[in-house]
Amino acid sequence: MASLCYSLQLAPKLSPINPKSFPNLTFLNQSKSKVRLARRPTITRMSLNPTPATDRLISAAAYTLPFFNSLQYGRYLFIQYPQLGTLFDPLIPLLSLYKSVPYASFVAFFALYLGVVRNPSFSHYVRFNSMQAVTLDVLLIVPLLLTRILNPGRAGLGYQVMVWGHTGVFVFSCLCFVYGVVWSILGRTPYLPFVADAAGRQV
């Protein structure tokens, strides 16, 4: 027992560690705190800016221009499937009013391009959608020009290819019309294939 007490008395006393005497430890502690601060996730707050109702209405109305001008390509489809014409019966009064105006397509084209697309008072959302409608309307002239140049006739393989081409153009135009109108009403930006990139460079 006496020997045990004597050994305890001879044991060295441990003094608290002074951080100043170990500068490396302080550096490690600071680096760890910096790492912990860097790993904290940053929270960003998003502000919702809904599209105004007037911008949605103008954008949706702009897509009626290429749609009305593409109805001529659907005549072969309507002849083959007459029941499809009932889907477009509600648009007959509006289409009749559109056709009653002399040079309605040219007037609507330049009114939409000069009055909306090139008008900085309208928002970028309206001008982009209007430019997409104008670009699509210009592309719809290409099949008609090819038909007049090639003159496939009224029978044969050339005529059948023309029917398929016109029907495909009409279906594509209808899909673009539905897509553009629905997305515009919802306040979202529609991106039409073959059109969006060209329209974005012009706005």
Q: Model-level pTM?
A: 0.71
Give the Å distances, CA to CA, from 106 to 69, 101, 181.
Answer: 11, 10, 22
How does DSSP assign 96-164, residue by residue?
A: HHHHHSTTHHHHHHHHHIIIIIT-TTS-HHHHHHHHHHHHHHHHTHHHHHHHHHH---SSSHHHHHHHH
- Taking all residues of the chain, what is their mean pLDDT, rounded to a whole number? 80
pLDDT tens-digit map of 88-136? 888 888 888 888 888 888 999 999 999 999 999 999 999 999 999 999 9
pLDDT at 12: 44
Cβ-contact 146, 183 below 8 angstroms: no
pLDDT at 139: 93
pLDDT at 49: 61
Task: Using alpha carbons, select from 147, 134, 143 the residue that is nearest to residue 105.
Answer: 134
DSSP-derived secondary structure letter, 78: H
Residues whose CB is less than 8 angstroms from the CB of residue 194 and which lie 6 or more positions away in sequence, other chains included: 139
pLDDT at 27: 42
pLDDT at 64: 93
pLDDT at 119: 93
Ranges of each domain in the chain: 53-200
Percent with pLDDT over 70 in the chain: 76
Residues whose CB is less than 8 angstroms from the CB of residue 192 and which lie 6 or more positions away in sequence, other chains included: 132, 136, 176, 179, 180, 199
pLDDT at 48: 52
pLDDT tens-digit map of 43-93? 333 335 688 999 999 999 999 999 999 999 999 999 888 888 888 888 888
User: Residue 136 CA to chain centroid, in angstroms?
Assistant: 15
